[in-house]
Structure 1
Amino acid sequence: MSTSLKAFNSTKFQVSEFILMGFPGIHSWQHWLSLPLALLYLSALGANILILITIYQDPSLKQPMYLFLGILSVVDMGLATTIMPKILAIFWFDAKVISLPECFAQIYAIHCFVGMESGIFLCMAFDRYVEICYPLRYSSIITNSLIFKATLFMVLRNDLFVISVPVLAAQRNYCSRNEIDHCLCSNLGVTSLACDDRRPNSIDQLILAWLGMGSDLGLIILSYTLILRSTLSTCSSHFILILFFYTVVVVISITHFAETKTTLIPVLLNVMHNIVPPSLNPIVYVLRTRELRKSFQKVFCWGLQKK
């Protein structure tokens, strides 16, 4: 008996799969949320695809601001697709089981896309800063080469920067409960099930948040502070989306550290943080950017007339 128990305890993963329970406290009727979430997901995909088509079709939109917007659209679709198919599968097909590798892969993908979105927000803020504060030097500073290098840097930075998150999560010992009171694999939500010390994961999460997204937010605030007087009217929508994006990250982090029991609010905020920006970004930028709005109308009105 003692020999078998010793062998059991020496196994790295006693748990071979996790069960995503969905939204805590509303399990009995959470399937009703599937329709609005599915519509939100489809609108995010559709709107971002339309923006990409518009930018591709209209030569006048081959400008840095719109290229960054196109990159943001790709990141938005990736972020939404990382979580929504699994969430809808839970609601529609009761597919709550997720293997450990799949769960850790989702943790990695979420952190990558969130970090990339933060980086693109920073690039867009820097683009606005240069155009408004140094208009005569704008074309020589913001070049296609700079856009490519900045995008590549953001991708590599986040791909490498957040790899410690799933690696540390995989090193924990999961030997008892495997039910996650969430509809996605969040880092701290998963590691809260570990039987051993999860403080390294919490510390790593905090350091990454401050070094990565914290530095991005600080530089974004600096950029907008420098151009606040002349650009508040044209950049207010962008700033509001950024404020929502980072505020939810801060709230989620605080609630994870403060709460010992998973509650509905942080879980719901976590899901909304990954699906609301991808849905609203296209609407805000199309409605508030005159050139993009005109090109959008020209491209798709022309397509309808041709049919």
Structure 2
Amino acid sequence: MQETPFCLRVGHLLPYSMSDSNTTDFTNPSTFILLGIPGLEVAHIWISIPFCIMYAIAVLGNFTILFIVKREPSLHRPMYYFLCMLAVTDLVLSTSILPKMLSIFWFNTREIDFSACLTQMYFVHCFLVMESGILVAMALDRYVAICNPLRYSTTLTNHMVVKIGLAVVLRSGIFVLPYILLARLWPYCRTNIIPHSYCEHIAVVKLACADIRISSYYGLFVLLSVIGLDVIFIAVSYIQILRAIFNLPTKDARLKTLGTCSSHLCVILAFYIPALFSSLMYRFGHTVPLHFHILIANVYLLLPPMLNPIIYGVRTKQIWDRLHKILLPVKG
């Protein structure tokens, strides 16, 4: 089975003795051991610096977005409500991994409770799916605003925005829940050492001494049926949007309308390109060094939360103008 060479491979990475935990039989350990970034233990302190900077920018930027939208009545519109949902999702996503990661990098506290590990796994994957759903909702907002502008206010009402938000939350919670149920079901009798900096789904279930194909297949099902369908929906929406834009009579009108989509397009690329790269590399990049896998997985969870508020803050005139007024108030 594929789990055996995996466990043997991580055995030599331990910088300390685990009382031969790779060979000692046990059933469902009370704790797991997170290695951080195997092979780069000596550089953990240095790696933590850019991660901390990314997280600080993400927290500051997303809270700023939430503050500006709350304070500015002119921004109380569906587009900005979805942006607030995205900001909250980014905050939870980055916060779900970084504190524990820093405790590993700074204090070498590598143990994580079994239940806490599964909770972290749930939050990471649930909010990744949720972010994808919010990007779909934002694509729908742009589609209605550009292709059916006269029906925008009657289609995307506040009540409809709430329903869309609840649907996104419920979808992500329901689809990710089997990850946890299956991970709790498997017996972990071979090792409790996770060669990762957080409890990533595949990294955890690979430690089980059982046939985990159902977990692997379900993960692939979620990737294709949920994330894949989201990408298709966004692509179809933007095909219709571009058709509507190119039918506009003047170049200035086309550029102005396209500019209203530019922020969303940048956020889509920042989320899906690293996601696709990370997923394909984790499943098929068997010759890629393990530490590179882990670095990409960490960057993938920290980069979009950092970039999203910057993209919307710089490229959205209403947010930029309000931020400018807050930072540089006009003196009377």
TM-score by length of 2: 0.84
Aligned mate of 2:293, from 245, 248, 266: 266
Say whether 1:157 aligns with 2:184.
Answer: no
State the Cα distance separating 1:12 from its structure 2 match: 4.5
State the Cα distance separating 1:248 from its structure 2 match: 2.3
Match in the other structure for 2:266: 240
Say whether 1:279 aligns with 2:306.
Answer: yes
State the Cα distance separating 1:257 from its structure 2 match: 2.4
Alpha-carbon distance in structure 2 between the residues aligned to 1:175 and 1:244: 39
Say whether 1:81 aligns with 2:109.
Answer: no
What residue ranges of structure 2 are gaps of 5+ in the alignment?
A: 1-23, 246-256
Aligned mate of 2:223, from 202, 209, 216: 209
State the Cα distance separating 1:146 from its structure 2 match: 0.7
Letter in 1 for 2:271: F
User: Are the equivalent residues in 2 in contact too, given 1:174–1:193 (CA < 8 A)?
Assistant: yes
Letter in 2 for 1:28: V
State the Cα distance separating 1:258 from its structure 2 match: 2.3
Deviation string, structure 1 residues 90-136 (Cα, Å, up to 9, x no partner): 11111111111111111110111111111110011110010011111
Match in the other structure for 2:113: 99
Say whether 1:60 aligns with 2:74.
Answer: yes
Alpha-carbon distance in structure 1 between the residues aligned to 2:110 and 2:132: 30
**SS class of match (2:38):** coil
Alpha-carbon distance in structure 1 between the residues aligned to 2:260 and 2:158: 24
Q: What aligned pairs does 1:124-163 form with structure 2 within 5 A after superposition? A: 124-163=138-177
Deviation string, structure 1 residues 32-66 (Cα, Å, up to 9, x no partner): 11111111111101111111111111111111111
State the Cα distance separating 1:30 from its structure 2 match: 2.0
Say whether 1:45 aligns with 2:72.
Answer: no
Say whether 1:290 aligns with 2:317.
Answer: yes
Alpha-carbon distance in structure 2 between the residues aligned to 1:106 and 1:118: 19
Compared CA separation, residues 305 and 109, structure 1 to 2 (3 A): farther
RMSD: 2.0
**SS class of match (2:37):** coil
Match in the other structure for 1:4: none
**SS class of match (1:72):** helix
Alpha-carbon distance in structure 2 between the residues aligned to 1:292 and 1:244: 20
Match in the other structure for 2:278: 252
**SS class of match (1:177):** coil
- Answer with 243-252 or 42-51: which moved more: 243-252
**SS class of match (1:166):** helix
State the Cα distance separating 1:290 from its structure 2 match: 0.7
**SS class of match (2:39):** coil
Alpha-carbon distance in structure 1 between the residues aligned to 2:93 and 2:258: 28
Alpha-carbon distance in structure 1 between the residues aligned to 2:39 and 2:270: 25
Deviation string, structure 1 residues 162-187 (Cα, Å, up to 9, x no partner): 10001111111111222211101100
User: Are the equivalent residues in 2 in contact too, given 1:51–1:296 (CA < 8 A)?
Assistant: no
Compared CA separation, residues 305 and 70, structure 1 to 2 (3 A): farther
Alpha-carbon distance in structure 1 between the residues aligned to 2:223 and 2:124: 13
Alpha-carbon distance in structure 2 between the residues aligned to 1:259 and 1:286: 36
State the Cα distance separating 1:240 from its structure 2 match: 3.0
Aligned mate of 1:108, from 105, 118, 122: 122
Aligned mate of 1:17, from 31, 44, 47: 31
**SS class of match (2:42):** coil
Letter in 2 for 1:81: T
Alpha-carbon distance in structure 2 between the residues aligned to 1:100 and 1:305: 56
TM-score by length of 1: 0.91
Letter in 2 for 1:62: H
Match in the other structure for 2:254: none
Letter in 2 for 1:280: L
State the Cα distance separating 1:305 from its structure 2 match: 6.9
Alpha-carbon distance in structure 1 between the residues aligned to 2:171 and 2:268: 20
Letter in 2 for 1:218: I
Query: % of aligned pairs identical?
Result: 40
Alpha-carbon distance in structure 1 between the residues aligned to 2:55 and 2:240: 35
User: Are the equivalent residues in 1 in contact too, given 2:263–2:316 (CA < 8 A)?
Assistant: no
Deviation string, structure 1 residues 212-237 (Cα, Å, up to 9, x no partner): 11111110111111112525444234
Alpha-carbon distance in structure 2 between the residues aligned to 1:67 and 1:84: 26
User: Are the equivalent residues in 2 in contact too, given 1:73–1:278 (CA < 8 A)?
Assistant: yes
